[in-house]
Structure 1
Amino acid sequence: MSIYKTLSNGVTRRGFIKGAGAIAGGAAAALSVPASVRSAFAQGDDVIRVGFIGPRSGPLGVFGEGDAFLVEQFNSHMAEGVQVGDKRYGIQLVLADTQSDPVRASQVAKDLINGEAIDLMLASSTPETVNPVADACEAAGVPCLSTTAPWEAFYFGRGAKPGEPSPFKWTYHFCFGVGNFAKLYADQWTKVETNKKVGVLLPNDADGNAIRGLLLPELEKAGFTIVDSGPYENGTADFSTQINTFRDEGCEIFNTFPFPPDFPVFWRQAAQKGLAQQIKICQLAKAGLFPAELEAMGSLGYGLHAGAYWHKLFPFSSPSTGMSSRVIAEGYEVSVGKQWNQQVGANASLLDAAVAALAGSGKPKDKAALAQALSVLKAETAVGPIDFTAGPVPNCATTGVVGVQWVKASEGPWEFDLPIVSNADHPFVPTTANMTAYTVQG
């Protein structure tokens, strides 16, 4: 019976998470190879060890909430291993939690490299995770594949220079970039009539600096007037200065790329000081990705706008887990007991790309051969096709983004719904609703 059919007939929570507890524990928790793999493959040369690093606790911990579910599905679907040439290999995932700390991300990467004999490293979720892990792998000569951080933050944020050869041999990344946001916003922001004046709140970090240097000029070229309040430090508790600037400048569009815990602080203050009542489009990135964030804001969350790098209605499937996008979302909700979120599909795509690279390497235990396979990787994933031969720069491939809007759900068990309102950057994904202006409720 297929997983999709099982879900449609009523899947049980136990059926999805019977092995999920393996993630709990210390810095690195090895998830055991399934019994069928243990019986078919000897440990050592016949088993590929794959490190999988992400924030599973701390301020960014929400990004990793679906990992236990995904790993269980991966272990089940890949129980017979991966065929590479005329040989079949088992795959063992070894997980590590960064605790949302870049310093720890670097350390656990080194721990997996030096203590766990990793053949391939995977990393996901924001530059604070991806960049230090990639740097550790680059220094150690270990192939690394990552996602969910703007590719510019990965590439230029780690020292690469425009127009110069790539300084990276071992580290590869696929994700959206500034060009995706520029295309998305230029379309999405025409869905509601505004004065095209944009208040921009960007932190002093890798994401904020990349967006400030690259996205803002593109938005100006598209006809928007940018009001940049300047860099701020993550964890700021008082945004009065920025709010007053945006309000006094008459901004009707607001755009931000903050740490998730910082946005509710800002937006509550914006409502208290009258800015939220002035804003017609409140566009979030990095924050506003997860239902729990919106639920914590109550009615202030109704109508907020965002981009989605994965959605349950994406017309793509995950080869490494054997699930369609909709089934991934349904399975996550049953397993975790929370509404689906974007990252569960993005992390599924990372596993998809990893399996495709292993299969295409010819020699998955040979690090140079695996790095070469990553450099020319073309793969179908849960977020759509990825192609490292198409650029935009060496070591990076791009994926599309759609525009979405958080609205009060009209039915079902969850408080919010997330219709797709713009698809200019990802035309294979259909829109499902018309975008409306943000209005403070109550």
Structure 2
Amino acid sequence: MKIKGLADGSYLRSINRRTLLKGAAAGGAAVTMGSLFAPAVRAQTAIKIGYVTPQTGPLAAFAEADDFVLGVIRELLGGGLETASGTIPVEIVVRDSQSNPNRAAEVARELIVDEGVSLMVVASTPETTNPVSTQCELEEVPCISTMAPWQPWYMGRQANPAAPEAFRYTYHYFWGLEDIIGTYTAMWNQLDTNKSVGGLFPNDADGNAWGDAALGIAPGMAAAGYTVADPGRYQNLTEDFSAQINAFKSANAEIVTGVIIPPDLTTFWTQSNQQGFKPKAATIAKAILFPSAVEALGPLGHNLSSEVWWTPNHPYTSSLTGETGVQVADAFSAASGRPWTQPIGFIYSLFEVAIDVLKRAADVSDPDAITESIAATNLQTLTGPVQWGKDADLGPIASNVSKTPLVGGQWRLKDDETFELVVVENVLAPEVALAGEMEAIA
């Protein structure tokens, strides 16, 4: 494989850039090279991949591996990418969403209109993936996203599952809330509890999807014998969780779950311990995916649990180099001085998919050809298989969503005061080895 580094192809835009391009091609008299739009009409000599990521703000932990992965990918792309159009240089243009949905949409449009990206990739929670995907759909730019459950990505963009053609240019791969329900309840079934669960759901795309009375996690939890006490939505970066803690005490909740940003978990869990609320299990999505977030809690982080998307021991290898997860994670730690973190796998696989798509596209200058290549993807990546259309249980949604494996884990405080993430449940992905059993919080 060959790949390389700098692109300058940009595009015209009126209602959207594709509309104007088609008009210019069809009626040369309408738009000329000497017109207002002249800078946008030039031969494509390279490919630009746009990447939007929350490198700063409360979601910054999701981007901790960005610099490392981008360095690896840029080195691999150093000699140009062999495509159906020949060997073409590639540039990855990165923009920071600052953990703000409005900013994510703004920089996505900049990448499309000003930079002329041929393919957009985006990761890390619906606050980032959704506005970028929506902008790409409007502008008819192919987009691949990950690291957000598929329900808030799909339903959060007002999609109708019966009309999958609503999304022509945007494709997503990750797990769904049905996988959360199966994994979390299997973890809790290892403990002796009263099956009363307190739910923490913020007023954002994730929280509204998880906490939806009909489509969220509560109905599935109920089917598994668990009752969820939901005190209602709260605003991100809340400073006082006393109302939620008192509601969980009233419900005699022995389990807490939710989808929380890292700063809010620190506030909630510290106040819970101060106010005498000590459940047997706290299985929290989003907030404790990362070593840095658990380290911030000190000993209070021991035996907190969460979903696990990827570990170095997952039995998958890089489609680019053949390296194992252990080799990639060790390289990250050597480069950064930090322990491995789950986004390493998914940011890496995001670019694996992007490169594979561009290699197979019939014409890398044609957004429709790139989109057709995305739809035809069947790739084994560092995080497992990515193939749109393979998940029959999703029905028409599978055209735009490819599910990835999910297991459950617990953070264990070691003697040296560092934390280790131990896989304790693999009912939905038995190919991922267990490393321990679920333990109650002391």
Larger radius of gyration: 2
Q: Is the 8 A contact 2:218 2:227 kept in 1?
A: no
Which residue of structure 1 aligns with residue 32 of structure 2?
none
- Residue in 2 aligned with 1:33? 5
Give the deviation of 1:77 after TM superposition: 2.4
- Distance change in 2, residues 1:44/1:328 (3 Å): farther
* Structure 1: runs of 5 or more not aligned: 1-31, 35-42
- Report the TM-score, using the length of structure 1 for normalisation: 0.86
CA contact (8 A) 2:85 2:362 kept: no
Distance 1:76 1:319 in 2: 15
Match of 1:15 in 2: none
Range 302-311 or range 156-165, more displaced: 156-165
User: Does 2:237 align with 1:235?
Assistant: yes
For residue 305 of structure 1, report the CA deviation from its aligned partner: 0.6
Q: Deviations over 1:359-403 (max 9, x none)?
A: 222222210011112123221111100110124213111111111
* 8 A Cα contact 2:145 2:172, kept in partner: yes
Question: Within 2, Cα distance between the matches of 1:173 and 1:96?
Answer: 19
Count of aligned pairs:
396
1:272 to partner: Cα distance: 1.0
Question: After superposition, what is the alpha-carbon deviation per residue over 1:113-149, rounded to whole angstroms, capped at 9, x for unaligned?
Answer: 1111100000000011001111111111110101001
Which stretch of the first structure deviates more once superposed, 375-384 or 234-243?
A: 375-384
Contact kept in structure 2, 1:77 and 1:321, CA below 8 Å: no
| Structure 2 residue identity aligned to 1:179 | E
Cα offset for 1:158?
Answer: 0.3
SS in structure 1 opposite 2:172? strand
Quick one: distance in 1 between partners of 2:428 and 2:79? 37
**Which residue of structure 2 aligns with residue 390 of structure 1?**
390
Verify: 1:436 aligned to 2:408, yes or no. Answer: no
> 1:215: how far off?
1.6
2:49·2:121 contact (CA, 8 Å) conserved in 1?
yes
Shift of residue 154 of structure 1? Answer: 0.9
| Alignment partners' CA distance in 1, 2:92 and 2:120 | 10
Report Cα offsets for 1:269-327 as digits up to 9, x if no partner: 11011112xx1111010110111111111110011011111111111122246532112
- Report the 3-state secondary structure (helix = DSSP H, G, I; strand = E; otherwise coil) of the residue aligned with 2:197: strand
Deviation at 1:358, TM superposition (A): 1.3
State the 1:78 CA deviation. 3.1
**Distance in 2 (alpha carbons) for counterparts of 1:321 and 1:285:** 31
Instruction: Report whether the alignment pairs 1:406 with 2:405.
Output: no
Residue 266 of structure 1, CA deviation: 0.4
Q: Partners in 2 of 1:222 and 1:81 — Cα distance?
A: 52
CA distance in 2, matches of 1:57, 1:375: 32
Q: Distance in 2 between matches of 1:77 and 1:157?
A: 35
Residue aligning to 1:273: 275
Determine if contact 2:407/2:428 at 8 Å carries over to the other structure.
yes
Matches within 5 A, 1:158-177: 158-177=157-176
> Alignment partner for residue 260 of structure 2, among 249, 258, 262?
258
Amino acid corresponding to residue 338 of structure 1 in structure 2? R
Gaps of 5+ in 2: 7-41
Cα contact 2:123–2:347 (8 A) shared by 1: yes
CA-CA distance at 1:80 after TM superposition = 3.1
Deviations 1:237-285 (A, max 9, x none): 1111110111121111110101111011001111011112xx1111010
Alignment of 1:308-347 (within 5 A): 308-320=308-320, 323-347=323-347
- The separation in 1 between residues aligned to 2:343 and 2:321, in whole angstroms, is 15
Distance in 2 of aligned mates of 1:434 and 1:116: 50
Sort the Cα spacing of 1:132 and 1:236 in 2 relative to 1 into closer, same or farther, 3 A: same
SS state at 1:92 partner: strand
Quick one: distance in 2 between partners of 1:77 and 1:220? Answer: 48
Cα distance 1:44–1:316, how it changes in 2: closer, same or farther (>3 A)? farther
- The match for 1:424 is 427
- For residue 76 of structure 1, what is the amino acid of its counterpart? E
SS in 2 for 1:275: coil
Amino acid at match of 1:406: W
1:68 — aligned with what?
67
Partner residue of 1:157?
156
The one-letter code sitting in structure 1 at the alignment partner of 2:185 is: A
Structure 2 residue identity aligned to 1:364: V
Aligned residue identity for 2:431 = F
1:185-242 C-alpha deviation (Å, 9 max, x unpaired) = 1211112111111111111111011112222111111111111111111111111111
* CA offsets 1:3-26 (integer angstroms, 9 cap, x no match): xxxxxxxxxxxxxxxxxxxxxxxx
Cα distance, 1:165 vs structure 2: 3.3
SS class of match (1:49): strand
2 CA distance for matches of 1:250 and 1:383? Answer: 38
Q: Which moved more, 1:197-206 or 1:333-342?
A: 333-342
Residue matched to 1:82? 81
* 2:343 partner SS: helix
Cα distance, 1:176 vs structure 2: 1.0
Residue 404 of structure 1 aligns with an amino acid whose one-letter code is G
* Whole-angstrom distance in 2 between the partners of 1:216 and 1:338: 36
Aligned partner of residue 418 in structure 1, secondary structure: strand
Distance 2:50 2:85 in 1: 25
Distance 2:119 2:388 in 1: 17
Q: Secondary structure at the match of 2:144?
A: strand
Q: Report Cα offsets for 1:5-57 as digits up to 9, x if no partner.
A: xxxxxxxxxxxxxxxxxxxxxxxxxxx828xxxxxxxx963522100110011
CA contact (8 A) 1:321 1:348 kept: no
SS of the equivalent of 2:408 reads strand
TM-score, normalised via structure 2 length: 0.86
Q: Is this contact kept in 2: 1:78–1:320, CA < 8 A?
A: no
- 1:410 positional shift: 4.5
Q: Is the 8 A contact 1:174 1:399 kept in 2?
A: yes
- Structure 2: distance between partners of 1:305 and 1:267: 13
CA distance in 2, matches of 1:208, 1:178: 12
Looking at structure 1, the residues matched to 314 and 364 of structure 2 have their Cα atoms a distance apart, in angstroms, of 30
Q: Give the root-mean-square deviation of aligned CA atoms.
A: 1.7
* Alpha-carbon distance, 1:409 to partner: 2.3
